[in-house]
Structure 1
Amino acid sequence: MRFNHFSAQPSTNGTTAGEVNSALLKQDLYEAVNGKWAETATIPGDHASTGGFMDLVDGIEKTLMRDFADLLAGKLEPANPEMAEFKKLYAMTSDAQKRETTGTAPLKPWLAKIEALQNWADLSDHLAEWYQKGLPTPVTMSVEPDMKDTSRYALFVDAPDLFLPDKTYYEPDNAAAKQLLPIFTQTATKLLELNGYSAEKAATIVEQAKAFDAQIAPHVKSSEEAADYVKMYNPRALSDVDAQVSQLDLTAAFTQVLHDTPTEVILPQPAFFDATNDILTPANFENLKSWMLVGTVFDATGVLTEEYRQVGGTYSRALSGKKEARSPEKAAFYLATGNFSQVVGDYYGRKYFGETAKADVRNMVLKMTHVYQQRLKTNDWLSAATREKAIVKLQKLTIKVGYPDQIDPLYSQFHVDTTESLFDNIQHFGELALADEFGHWGHPVDRDRWEMSANTVNAYYSPTNNEIVFPAAILQKPFYSLDQSSSANYGGIGAVIAHEISHAFDNNGAQFDEFGNLNNWWTKADLSHFQDLAQAMIKEFDGIEFAGQKVNGKLTVSENIADGGGLSCALEAAKSADDVDLRAFFINWANVWRMKATTEYMQLLLSIDVHAPAKLRANVQVKNLDDFFTTFDVQPGDAMYLAPADRVKIW
Structure 2
Amino acid sequence: MKNIISKATDAQGGQSSQPAEDSIDKSLLKDDLYKAVNGRWEKTAEIPADHSSTGGFMDLNDNIDKQLMKDLDDIIKENKHYDAPFSEFLKLYELARNFKKRDADGADPLKPYLEKIESITNFDDLNQALPELVKEGHPLPFGFWVEPDMKNTKVNALFAAVPGLFLPDRTYYEKNNPAYKQLMPVFTKMASQLLVLADYSSNEADEIVESAKRFDAKIAPNVKSAEESADYSKMYNPQKFAYFSESSSHVDFMNLADTLFGKAPEQIIVTEPKFYERFDGLVNSDTFTDMKNWMLVNMVRSASGYLSEEFRQTGSVFSRALSGKKEATPQKKSAFYLAEGTFGQTIGDYYAKKYFGPKAKADVEHMVRSMIAVYKNRLSNNDWLSKATREKAILKLNKLELQVGYPDHIDELEYKFKVTPEDEGGTLFENMSRFGAISIQDTLEKLGKPVDRTKWEMSAATVNAYYEPFKNIIVFPAAILQAPFYSLKQTSSQNYGGIGAVIAHEISHAFDNNGSLFDELGNLNNWWTKEDHDHFSKLADKMIKEFDGIPYAGGKVNGKLTVSENIADGGGLSCANEAAKNEKDYNLYDFFINWAKVWRMKATEQYKQLLLNIDVHAPAELRANVQVKNLDDFYSTFDVKPGDGMYMRPEDRVKIW
Q: Give secondary structure in 1 for the equivalent of 2:109.
A: helix
Q: Answer yes or no: is 1:250 the counterpart of 2:248.
A: no
State the match for 1:5 in structure 2: 3
Q: Give secondary structure in 1 for the equivalent of 2:467.
A: strand
Q: Answer yes or no: is 1:527 the counterpart of 2:530.
A: no
Q: Following TM superposition, by how much is the alpha carbon of 1:228 offset from its aligned partner in structure 2, in angstroms?
A: 0.3
- 1:406-445 residue pairs with structure 2 within 5 A? 406-418=409-421, 419=424, 420-445=426-451
Q: Answer yes or no: is 1:497 the counterpart of 2:495.
A: no
State the match for 1:508 in structure 2: 514
State the match for 1:66 in structure 2: 70
CA distance in 2, matches of 1:123, 1:12: 58
State the match for 1:167 in structure 2: 170
Q: Following TM superposition, by how much is the alpha carbon of 1:73 offset from its aligned partner in structure 2, in angstroms?
A: 1.5
CA shift in 2, pair 1:442/1:453, >3 Å: same
State the match for 1:46 in structure 2: 50
Post-superposition Cα deviations, 1:10-65, rounded to whole Å, max 9, x if no partner, equal: 99833123321111011000000000100100100000000131100100000000
Output the amino acid matched with 2:332: E
**From 113, 116, 121, the counterpart of 1:113:** 116
Q: Following TM superposition, by how much is the alpha carbon of 1:131 offset from its aligned partner in structure 2, in angstroms?
A: 1.1
**From 154, 158, 177, the counterpart of 1:155:** 158
Output the amino acid matched with 2:529: T
CA distance in 1, matches of 2:553, 2:262: 50
Output the amino acid matched with 2:73: A
Q: Following TM superposition, by how much is the alpha carbon of 1:75 offset from its aligned partner in structure 2, in angstroms?
A: 5.5
CA distance in 1, matches of 2:165, 2:334: 25
Q: Answer yes or no: is 1:481 the counterpart of 2:479.
A: no
Unaligned runs of 5+ in 1: none
Identity %: 57
- 1:207-356 residue pairs with structure 2 within 5 A? 207-356=210-359
**From 132, 136, 139, the counterpart of 2:135:** 132
Q: Following TM superposition, by how much is the alpha carbon of 1:260 offset from its aligned partner in structure 2, in angstroms?
A: 2.9
CA distance in 2, matches of 1:9, 1:624: 31
Output the amino acid matched with 1:357: A
Post-superposition Cα deviations, 1:566-622, rounded to whole Å, max 9, x if no partner, equal: 000000001111111101100000000000000000000000000000000000000
Contact map agreement 2:7 2:463 (CA 8 A) in 1: no
Contact map agreement 1:140 1:158 (CA 8 A) in 2: yes
Q: Give secondary structure in 2 for the equivalent of 1:395.
A: helix
Q: Following TM superposition, by how much is the alpha carbon of 1:77 offset from its aligned partner in structure 2, in angstroms?
A: 5.0
Q: Following TM superposition, by how much is the alpha carbon of 1:540 offset from its aligned partner in structure 2, in angstroms?
A: 0.2
Contact map agreement 1:9 1:594 (CA 8 A) in 2: no
Q: Following TM superposition, by how much is the alpha carbon of 1:364 offset from its aligned partner in structure 2, in angstroms?
A: 2.1
258-267 or 7-16: bigger deviation: 7-16
CA shift in 2, pair 1:8/1:641, >3 Å: farther
Q: Answer yes or no: is 1:573 the counterpart of 2:579.
A: yes
Q: Give secondary structure in 2 for the equivalent of 1:323.
A: coil
Contact map agreement 2:6 2:615 (CA 8 A) in 1: no
- What is the aligned residue count? 648
CA distance in 2, matches of 1:155, 1:8: 26
Q: Answer yes or no: is 1:550 the counterpart of 2:528.
A: no
Unaligned runs of 5+ in 2: 9-14
State the match for 1:582 in structure 2: 588
Output the amino acid matched with 2:415: S
CA distance in 1, matches of 2:80, 2:388: 57
Q: Give secondary structure in 1 for the equivalent of 2:376.
A: helix
State the match for 1:359 in structure 2: 362
Contact map agreement 1:67 1:76 (CA 8 A) in 2: no
State the match for 2:655 in structure 1: 649
Q: Following TM superposition, by how much is the alpha carbon of 1:74 offset from its aligned partner in structure 2, in angstroms?
A: 2.2
Q: Answer yes or no: is 1:454 the counterpart of 2:460.
A: yes
Post-superposition Cα deviations, 1:164-195, rounded to whole Å, max 9, x if no partner, equal: 00000001211111111000000000000000
Q: Answer yes or no: is 1:31 the counterpart of 2:35.
A: yes
Q: Following TM superposition, by how much is the alpha carbon of 1:9 offset from its aligned partner in structure 2, in angstroms?
A: 11
CA distance in 2, matches of 1:603, 1:518: 33
CA distance in 2, matches of 1:71, 1:16: 37
Q: Give secondary structure in 2 for the equivalent of 1:555.
A: coil
Output the amino acid matched with 1:205: I
Q: Give secondary structure in 2 for the equivalent of 1:399.
A: strand
CA distance in 1, matches of 2:119, 2:319: 30
Q: Give secondary structure in 1 for the equivalent of 2:294.
A: helix
CA shift in 2, pair 1:9/1:605, >3 Å: farther
CA distance in 2, matches of 1:546, 1:346: 39
Q: Answer yes or no: is 1:57 the counterpart of 2:55.
A: no
Output the amino acid matched with 1:273: Y
TM-score (norm 2): 0.97
Post-superposition Cα deviations, 1:486-525, rounded to whole Å, max 9, x if no partner, equal: 1111000100000000000000000100000000111111
State the match for 1:593 in structure 2: 599
Output the amino acid matched with 1:284: T
Q: Following TM superposition, by how much is the alpha carbon of 1:255 offset from its aligned partner in structure 2, in angstroms?
A: 1.9
Output the amino acid matched with 1:612: A
CA distance in 1, matches of 2:102, 2:380: 61
Q: Following TM superposition, by how much is the alpha carbon of 1:76 offset from its aligned partner in structure 2, in angstroms?
A: 5.8
Contact map agreement 2:56 2:597 (CA 8 A) in 1: no
Contact map agreement 2:360 2:488 (CA 8 A) in 1: no
TM-score (norm 1): 0.98
Q: Following TM superposition, by how much is the alpha carbon of 1:358 offset from its aligned partner in structure 2, in angstroms?
A: 2.6
CA distance in 2, matches of 1:609, 1:519: 27
CA distance in 1, matches of 2:17, 2:309: 34
State the match for 2:11 in structure 1: none
CA distance in 1, matches of 2:206, 2:37: 51
Post-superposition Cα deviations, 1:390-444, rounded to whole Å, max 9, x if no partner, equal: 0000000010111001000111111111121111111111111111111101211
Q: Give secondary structure in 2 for the equivalent of 1:526.
A: helix
Q: Give secondary structure in 1 for the equivalent of 2:158.
A: strand
Output the amino acid matched with 2:129: H
